């Protein structure tokens, strides 16, 4: 078994102000902070399988095996990013699990825009970008029991203070610091992010997907733009009530693109 929360924090100077504020609503009754770990996703998965409660939060200063969507690696410079994973146990059908990754994107864009005044947009399904450069990403990994979701691990990586990026990235990258023109303190950003995740998730539990859908459409940089992926080429027109992207093809048909959420 992992060390108790107090022990973990006593050995770590990571984010002590956040630790003192937790839990924020549903998030962070259980909190682990690692100087270095393989992947916060794997830490949470282990905790989830051992019965950890909804809202369990794991953060790291550095990951040695961070992963992104579509089997890509997620690389970080130690001490420069926000790297976190959150355990959710929503009572929803398995087919609606991708809504949680859209929710995390909306909560992240909301928090980062509020904290930095930067125009943080969402590129389908859940990339976070500023001025057409990727500043963060979300990886939601769901598990189901039969037709119901048993848990979702929502992983978020935000480039905060990096000034250099690997040459061979799928899309041009940036960091919040590069965009605001000065280094940023990560802790207030993390606090804002956690509070926003709690707010948006609480709304989701009470009101369903509609508010998230509206938030996603407002922050989207994809709607009205050409899309080419998942076997679909056309123009993104809208987000469906269940979270699928509605795309108008060149032939005039409307087709649906669904974000993945299962490992
Ligand atoms: C993407 O844009 O491809 C998603 C990136 C998700 C990265 C985060 S960092 C914290 C968590 N742990 C991981 O290994 N991945 C996610």
Distance CA 154, CA 175 (A): 21
- Tell me 252's DSSP state: S
Pocket of ligand 1 (CB under 6 A): 39-41, 63, 66-69, 72, 74, 83-85, 127, 137-139, 155-157
Beta bridge mates, 228: 233
Structure tokens at 193: 């992010």
Q: What pLDDT does 261 receive?
A: 63
pTM of the model: 0.94
Distance 23 CA to ligand 1 centre (A): 23
Structure tokens at 228: 């080419």
* Largest Cα–Cα separation, the chain: 61
Q: Does domain 3-221 have CATH number 3.40.50.300?
A: no
Do 120 and 128 touch, CB atoms closer than 8 A? yes
Rg (CA), the chain: 18
Q: Of all residues in the chain, what percent are helix, strand and coil, respectively (each to 5)? A: 30, 30, 40
Residue 196 Cα distances to 28, 108, 115, 122, 132, angstroms: 13, 7, 11, 16, 23
Which among 152, 174, 171 has a CA at the least distance from the CA of 161?
A: 174
Which among 167, 166, 86, 82 has a CA at the least distance from the CA of 128?
A: 82
SS3 assignment, position 192: helix
Distance 74 CA to ligand 1 centre (A): 6
Distance 251 CA to ligand 1 centre (A): 36
Mutation pick for ligand 1 pocket among 157, 170, 190, 259 (CB with most ligand atoms within 8 Å): 157
pLDDT tens per residue across all 263 residues of the chain? 354 444 444 345 799 999 999 999 999 999 999 999 999 999 999 999 999 999 999 999 999 999 999 889 999 999 999 999 999 999 999 999 999 999 999 999 999 999 999 999 999 999 999 999 999 999 999 999 999 999 999 999 999 999 998 877 777 999 999 999 999 999 999 999 999 999 999 999 999 999 999 999 999 999 999 998 878 899 999 999 999 999 999 999 999 998 876 66
Nearest CA to ligand 1 atom 14: 66
Distance 99 CA to ligand 1 centre (A): 17
Question: Domain spans of the chain?
Answer: 3-221
Pairing between strand 57-60 and 31-34? parallel
Nearest CA to ligand 1 atom 3: 68
Q: What pLDDT does 1 receive?
A: 39
Phi and psi (nearest 5°) for 41? -60, -45
Structure tokens at 41: 């996703």
Core vs surface per residue 236-250: b (16+ CB within 10 A) or e: bebbeeebbbbbeee
């Amino acid at each position: 078994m992992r060390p108790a929360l107090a022990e973990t924090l006593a050995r770590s100077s990571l984010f002590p102000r956040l630790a003192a504020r937790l839990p924020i609503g549903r998030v962070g009754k259980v909190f682990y902070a690692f100087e270095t770990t393989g992947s916060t996703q794997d830490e949470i998965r282990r905790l989830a399988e051992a019965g950890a409660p909804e809202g369990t939060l794991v953060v790291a200063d550095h990951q040695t095996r961070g992963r992104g969507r579509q089997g890509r690696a997620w690389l970080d410079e130690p001490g420069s990013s926000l790297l976190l994973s959150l355990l959710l146990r929503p009572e929803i059908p398995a087919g609606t699990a991708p809504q949680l990754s859209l929710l995390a994107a909306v909560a992240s864009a909301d928090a980062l825009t509020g904290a930095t005044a930067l125009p943080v947009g969402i590129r389908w399904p859940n990339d976070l970008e500023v001025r057409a450069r990727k500043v963060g990403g979300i990886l939601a990994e769901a598990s189901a029991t039969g037709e119901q979701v048993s848990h979702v691990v929502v992983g978020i990586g935000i480039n905060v203070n990096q000034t250099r990026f690997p040459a061979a990235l799928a899309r041009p990258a940036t960091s919040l610091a590069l965009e605001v023109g000065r280094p940023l303190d990560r802790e207030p950003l993390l606090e804002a992010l956690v509070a926003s995740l709690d707010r948006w998730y609480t709304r989701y539990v009470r009101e369903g997907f509609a508010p998230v859908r509206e938030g996603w459409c407002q922050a989207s940089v994809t709607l009205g733009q050409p899309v080419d992926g998942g076997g679909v080429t056309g123009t993104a027109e809208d987000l469906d009530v269940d979270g699928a992207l509605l795309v108008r093809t060149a032939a005039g048909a409307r087709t649906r693109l669904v974000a993945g959420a299962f490992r």
